[in-house]
């Protein structure tokens, strides 16, 4: 199925009040962020999408893919499911070897050159992790960051899902800047649940949640696109300091001051 768009019809928030946004459509190629305070229903919202909700979840929201609602029968095969969700706590539970698992998944998906696609997947994942994944280790032996990286790579490449939902990727222990760069090379609908200003402002639009309900939609405008450049600078600076510390170096006042001057924050 060629996915062109996905539409969500509002339902109800936590205390039964209506979603203020009655309807929202995401088109192929768009990047969307879901923002809001802790407990505001961000995860619930993307779970509705993942479940292809049809007024059958607690929020009573309804999702249309290319204007079509979900049908409920046994024919629904998850391989045909166009949506992949990577949650805050999705883990691999199978103790199959990484390589064997990926090959099995690729063959279920009917991939023509299994070896190549598995390699591409591992390569994608390894660009997001600190230490490369050992293909002979069991899936359950991967670290948290490696697990998340592999989940994303599998969904994008082997699963080839046209709609990808990522819940708080910034807390996943992976290189999120690299992740954003890599993901943008693929033509998909990406929906990020995020507390990260950089991800939120790099999106085409964002939905603001509160008390379990959609409050409003903000489209990223030119001014915000300029602001994001500044955020990137600050963010990269923090990442640089983090790498410094990770590599076992000491931080000096002089170093920080010099770098702030380089960046134009000190004269």
Partner 1 sequence: MKTVICAGTSTSGKTAVLKQVIKKLIAKDYRLAFLKIDVQYAEEDELFKQEFGIPTKKVYSGELCPDHCNVMVLGDAIEWAAREKAQFLLVETAGLCLRCSPYIEGSLGIVVVEATSGMNLPRKIGPMLSLADIAVVTKIDLVSQAEREVFRSRILEAAPNINIAESDALHGIGLNPLVKKIIESPDLQFPLFLRGNPPVGTCTICVGKKEIGWKQHFGVVRPLENQLFYRGE
Nearer to partner 1, 33 or 44 (CB): 44
Tell me if 194 contacts Mg ion by CB under 5 A. no
Residues contacting residue 169 through CB under 8 Å, at least 6 positions apart: 86, 148, 152, 176, 179, 192, 194, 199
CB of residue 145 vs ligand ATP: minimum separation in angstroms?
A: 18
Tell me if 190 contacts partner 1 by CB under 8 A. no
CB of residue 194 vs ligand ATP: minimum separation in angstroms?
A: 9
Residue 59 interacts, among partner 1, Mg ion, ligand ATP, none and using kind-specific CB cut-offs from 5 to 8 Å, with ligand ATP
Report the residue from 22, 67, 72, 123 that binds partner 1 according to the rule CB under 8 A.
72
**Which DSSP string corresponds to 112-168?**
S-HHHHHHHHHHHHHTTSSS---TTSBGGGS-HHHHHHHHHHIIIIIS--SEEEEE-
Report the residue from 33, 40, 43, 129 that binds Mg ion according to the rule CB under 5 A.
43
By the criterion CB under 6 A, which residues form the site for ligand ATP? 12-14, 36, 38-44, 58-59, 212
CB of residue 61 vs partner 1: minimum separation in angstroms?
A: 13
- What's the rounded Cα separation, in Å, for the pair 156 and 188? 9
Asked if residues 70 and 54 have their Cβ atoms less than 8 Å apart, the reply is yes
- What's the rounded Cα separation, in Å, for the pair 130 and 247? 11
Tell me if 44 contacts Mg ion by CB under 5 A. no
Tell me if 40 contacts Mg ion by CB under 5 A. no
In Å, what is the CA distance from 73 to each residue of 58, 63, 68?
Answer: 20, 17, 15
- What's the rounded Cα separation, in Å, for the pair 265 and 267? 7
Which spans of this chain sit near partner 1 (rule: CB under 8 A)? 51, 56-58, 72-74, 77-79, 81, 84-86, 90-96, 101, 104-105, 108-109, 151, 154-155, 158-159, 161
């Amino acid at each position: 199925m060629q996915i062109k768009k996905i539409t969500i019809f509002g339902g109800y928030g936590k205390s039964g009040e209506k979603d203020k946004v009655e309807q929202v459509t995401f088109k192929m190629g768009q990047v969307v962020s879901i923002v809001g305070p802790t407990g505001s229903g961000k995860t619930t919202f993307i779970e509705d999408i993942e479940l292809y909700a049809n007024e059958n979840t607690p929020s009573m929201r309804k999702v249309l893919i290319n204007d079509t609602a979900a049908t409920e029968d046994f024919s629904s095969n998850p391989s045909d499911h166009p949506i992949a969700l990577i949650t805050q706590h999705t883990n691999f539970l199978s103790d199959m070897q990484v390589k064997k698992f990926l090959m099995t998944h690729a063959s279920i998906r009917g991939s023509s050159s299994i070896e190549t696609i598995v390699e591409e997947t591992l390569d994608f994942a390894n660009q997001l992790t600190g230490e490369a994944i050992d293909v002979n280790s069991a899936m359950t032996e991967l670290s948290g960051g490696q697990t998340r990286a592999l989940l994303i790579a599998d969904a994008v490449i082997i699963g080839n899902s046209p709609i990808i939902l990522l819940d708080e990727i910034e807390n996943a222990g992976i290189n999120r800047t690299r992740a954003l760069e890599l993901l943008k090379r693929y033509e998909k609908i990406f929906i990020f649940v995020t507390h990260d200003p950089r991800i939120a402002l790099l999106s085409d639009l964002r939905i603001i949640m509160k008390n379990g309900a959609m409050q409003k939609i903000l489209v990223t405008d030119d001014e915000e696109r300029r602001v994001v450049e500044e955020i990137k600078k600050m963010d990269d600076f923090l990442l640089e300091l983090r790498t410094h510390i990770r590599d076992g170096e000491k931080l000096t006042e002089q170093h920080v001051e010099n770098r702030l001057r380089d960046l134009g924050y000190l004269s």
